[in-house]
């Protein structure tokens, strides 16, 4: 076959989708659906107006037709054999167009003739994305994770159809690491094998995406099953009088076992106070407690966390008033002490004759101005003896006169 010197309108259509891009020469056009990259062949000239097309999606098909209103044409398809350095026929048919599918990457030539005036050929080089990428884990240990990536962009080799001189289309690439759930990767677009010293606490997919010169992307992934642990908790309540019961909500991530330290002033010296997941602890001695948690993963990694604010147990207080007005108005109707963090308490009320009228041991209770039989005592002066001892060791003892007033 030879290339016709007659101006013909010939086209080869690469079928992959609905949208089409075009390139023209003196004899016709070539159309391709969704080529990522399309340029003339390295040897292209007026005599050899051949085209290179790179596709990110595969497979594609080829369709050849001629823009003539009437007539039946013969089509002969040939594929370039790189070993033989020659185009070898593999398919022929006749009609107004010809289609081949299931093709491989490489060079294709179609000859079109009607046995009379029309006799022409056209060559196209078809390539799919040619990037190989691999993502893997090099090694991991507590506090360190080393990812390993490799990427290779293969050159796109094509040949002059007559001289068979080899040409190569260079294919550079860029890359980037990402992850899900999101986890920081050091210099994700600069280091193909990054090492992070802050591995994720959750199981994570890492993705290495490579983009070549032609806009095609290839992604490989690797799964990391986390061995890391993060200790975290919240105490509630954070302060109150002794004895103070505090519940610790464990928000640790990936923890398998735990050591709780409820009162160590510095570090983790001593024996842990608790090993449960969410302990409830009673603090009795009034002071500040900096609580620490040490968490361990199943793989043996560990992390420790100290809550930034101390648990504060209030110091003891015992204060005694000297007047009350049990007149039923809801204001100061009961003789009560003001107390906090008391471990022991006892109060006794006497009249001026030394007769005991009332005794109580709960500082949150008090005297309502009646006898033990519920009879109101008259207004006047009464006497009290009140003793207490705080959880902080403070001793209290008060004696004095108490004035009882009733409204008229």
What's the token pair of residue 179? Answer: 């992850």
Residue with tokens 């062949």: 41
- Please return the burial class of 338, using the count of CB atoms within 10 Å of its CB with bins 0-12, 13-18 and 19+: exposed
For residues 262 and 291, give the distance between their C-alpha atoms in angstroms, rounded to a whole number: 5
* Residue 122 domain-assigned (yes or no): yes
For residues 163 and 141, give the distance between their C-alpha atoms in angstroms, rounded to a whole number: 58
Query: Whole-structure pTM over 0.75, yes or no?
Result: no
Total Cβ atoms within 10 A of residue 308:
6
| 246 shares a domain with 214 | no
Cα-based distances in Å from 116 to 57, 165, 194, 359: 39, 32, 66, 131
Choosing from 128, 150, 178, the residue where a domain stops is: 128
Report, in angstroms and rounded to the nearest whole number, the Rg of the chain calculated over CA atoms.
45
Whichever domain contains 372, its CATH number is: 2.60.40.1220
pLDDT tier at 397 (50, 70, 90 boundaries)?
very high
Per-residue model confidence as pLDDT tens digits over 105-152: 999 999 888 888 778 888 999 998 878 999 999 999 999 999 999 999
Choosing from 261, 289, 314, the residue where a domain stops is: 314
| 97 shares a domain with 142 | no
Residue with tokens 């361990």: 296
Q: Is a pLDDT exceeding 80 seen at residue 19?
A: no
Mean pLDDT of the chain, nearest integer: 87
* Residue 3 domain-assigned (yes or no): no
Query: What is the tally of structural domains in the chain?
Result: 4
For residues 108 and 62, give the distance between their C-alpha atoms in angstroms, rounded to a whole number: 9
pLDDT for res 142: 96
pLDDT for res 81: 95
Question: Are 385 and 347 a contacting pair, CB within 8 Å?
Answer: yes
| 14 shares a domain with 48 | yes
Instruction: Average the pLDDT over 320-345 and give the result.
Output: 95
Q: Is a pLDDT exceeding 70 seen at residue 56?
A: yes
| 61 shares a domain with 91 | yes
The 8-class DSSP code of residue 101 comes to: -
For residues 279 and 250, give the distance between their C-alpha atoms in angstroms, rounded to a whole number: 9
Q: Is a pLDDT exceeding 70 seen at residue 12?
A: no
* Residue 218 domain-assigned (yes or no): yes
pLDDT for res 120: 84
Edge-to-edge strands, sheet with 288-289: 239-241, 311-314, 288-289
Q: Is a pLDDT exceeding 50 seen at residue 207?
A: yes
Start-to-end C-alpha separation, the chain = 132
What's the token pair of residue 396? Answer: 């209290």
| 190 shares a domain with 275 | no
Question: Are 34 and 17 a contacting pair, CB within 8 Å?
Answer: yes
Q: 116 CB contacts (<8 Å, ≥6 apart)?
A: none
Whichever domain contains 108, its CATH number is: 2.60.40
* Residue 2 domain-assigned (yes or no): no
**What SS3 state is found at 79?**
strand
Cα-based distances in Å from 325 to 287, 328, 335: 36, 8, 8
Cα-based distances in Å from 242 to 4, 80, 284, 321: 104, 91, 5, 23
| 84 shares a domain with 18 | yes
Q: Is a pLDDT exceeding 70 seen at residue 28?
A: no
The 8-class DSSP code of residue 26 comes to: S
| 57 shares a domain with 19 | yes
| 216 shares a domain with 168 | yes
| 119 shares a domain with 17 | yes
Choosing from 276, 293, 314, the residue where a domain stops is: 314
Q: Is a pLDDT exceeding 80 seen at residue 68?
A: no
* Residue 5 domain-assigned (yes or no): no
* Residue 4 domain-assigned (yes or no): no
CA atoms within 13 A of residue 249's CA, in its CB half-sphere? 6
- Of 382, 240, 267, 231, the C-alpha closest to 321 is 382
For residues 1 and 4, give the distance between their C-alpha atoms in angstroms, rounded to a whole number: 9
What's the token pair of residue 219? Answer: 């992604």
For residues 19 and 140, give the distance between their C-alpha atoms in angstroms, rounded to a whole number: 47
Strands 239-241 and 311-314: parallel
| 298 shares a domain with 198 | no
| 322 shares a domain with 309 | no
Strands 119-128 and 51-55: parallel
Whichever domain contains 268, its CATH number is: 2.60.40.10
Q: Could you give the percent of the chain with pLDDT greater than 70?
A: 89
Q: Is a pLDDT exceeding 70 seen at residue 223?
A: yes
Q: Which domain holds residue 299?
A: 233-314
* Residue 152 domain-assigned (yes or no): yes
| 241 shares a domain with 207 | no
Q: Is a pLDDT exceeding 80 seen at residue 169?
A: yes
* Residue 113 domain-assigned (yes or no): yes
């Amino acid at each position: 076959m030879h290339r016709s010197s007659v101006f013909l309108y010939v086209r080869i259509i690469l079928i992959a989708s609905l949208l089409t891009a075009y390139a023209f020469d003196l004899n016709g056009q070539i159309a391709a659906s969704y080529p990522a990259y399309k340029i003339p062949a390295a040897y292209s000239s007026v005599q050899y107006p051949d085209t290179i097309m790179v596709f990110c999606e595969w497979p594609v098909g080829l369709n050849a037709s001629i823009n003539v209103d009437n007539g039946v044409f013969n089509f002969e398809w040939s594929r370039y054999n790189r070993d033989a350095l020659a185009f070898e026929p593999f398919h022929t048919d006749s009609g107004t167009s010809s289609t081949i599918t299931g093709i491989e990457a490489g060079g294709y030539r179609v000859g079109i003739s009607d046995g009379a005036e029309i006799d022409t050929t056209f060559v196209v080089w078809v390539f799919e994305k040619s990037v190989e990428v691999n993502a893997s884990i090099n090694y991991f240990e507590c506090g360190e994770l080393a990812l390993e990536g490799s990427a290779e962009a293969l050159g796109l080799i094509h040949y002059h159809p007559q001289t068979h001189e080899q040409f190569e289309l260079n294919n550079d690439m860029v890359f980037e690491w990402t992850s899900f759930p999101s986890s920081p990767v050091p210099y994700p677009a600069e280091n193909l094998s990054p090492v992070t010293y802050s591995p994720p606490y959750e199981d994570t997919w890492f993705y290495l995406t490579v983009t070549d010169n032609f806009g095609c992307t290839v992604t490989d992934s690797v799964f990391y099953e986390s061995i890391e642990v993060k200790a975290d908790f919240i105490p509630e309540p954070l302060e109150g009088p002794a004895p103070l019961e505090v519940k610790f909500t464990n928000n640790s991530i990936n923890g398998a076992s735990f050591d709780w330290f409820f009162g160590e002033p510095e570090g983790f010296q001593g024996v842990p106070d608790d090993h449960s997941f969410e302990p409830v602890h009673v603090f009795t001695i009034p002071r500040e407690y900096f609580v620490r948690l040490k968490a361990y993963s199943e793989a043996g990694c560990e992390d420790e966390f100290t809550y930034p604010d101390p648990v504060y147990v209030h110091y003891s207080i015992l204060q005694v008033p000297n007047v009350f007005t049990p007149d039923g108005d809801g204001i100061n109707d009961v003789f009560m002490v003001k107390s906090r963090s008391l471990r022991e308490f006892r109060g006794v009320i006497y009249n001026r004759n030394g007769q005991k009228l009332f005794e109580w041991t709960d500082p949150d209770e008090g005297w309502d101005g009646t006898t033990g039989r519920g009879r109101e005592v008259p207004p006047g002066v009464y006497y009290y003896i009140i003793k207490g001892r705080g959880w902080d060791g403070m001793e209290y003892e008060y004696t004095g006169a108490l004035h009882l007033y009733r409204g008229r």
